[in-house]
Amino acid sequence: MSGTSIFASRDFMLLLIGRGVSSLGDYFGELALSYFVYVYTGSPILLAITFVSFSAPRSVARLVGGVYVDRINRRALMIATELIRGTIFALLSFLQFLGSLPTVVIYPCLIAVGGLGALFEMTSDS
């Protein structure tokens, strides 16, 4: 690609846009769920558990997941992790819309979203 911009590459632009949307989704998803937990419980301890539930699985997945990311079809893994994470956020939104979202359901969802997010990032980086 000598003499041309890297931004002219369709594959690079798709990856860049995908990572950008994914990062924004992570940020706003974690922010919305943290806000929900704090408003409905008023507990700073449960708010802290919300942050830990999202961050701790990311750290563990980065330690363990690197070995597996190299052995799996990267494109399929990236698509699968994003679809699963999107489905989890959509399910949580739907439950809140119905008015039946218990706070304890949020924590396993955050654990899954955090771990899958780390796998997505590792796959994208490799």
92-109 average pLDDT score: 87
Task: Give the number of other Cβ atoms within 10 Å of residue 5's Cβ.
Answer: 8
Instruction: Read off the pLDDT band of 27 (50, 70, 90).
Output: confident
**CA distance linking residue 94 with residue 46, whole number of Å:** 22
For the chain, give every domain's residue range.
Answer: 6-125
pLDDT band at 65, cuts 50/70/90? Answer: confident
pLDDT of residue 106: 86
Please name the amino acid found at residue 47.
Answer: L
pLDDT digits (tens, 9 = 90+) for 2-24: 557 777 788 888 888 888 887 88
Query: What was the pLDDT predicted at 20?
Result: 86
pTM across the whole model: 0.78
pLDDT at 3: 52
The first and second tokens of residue 78, run together, are: 């990236």
Q: Which segments of the chain are extended strands (E)? A: none
For residues 25 and 35, give the distance between their C-alpha atoms in angstroms, rounded to a whole number.
15
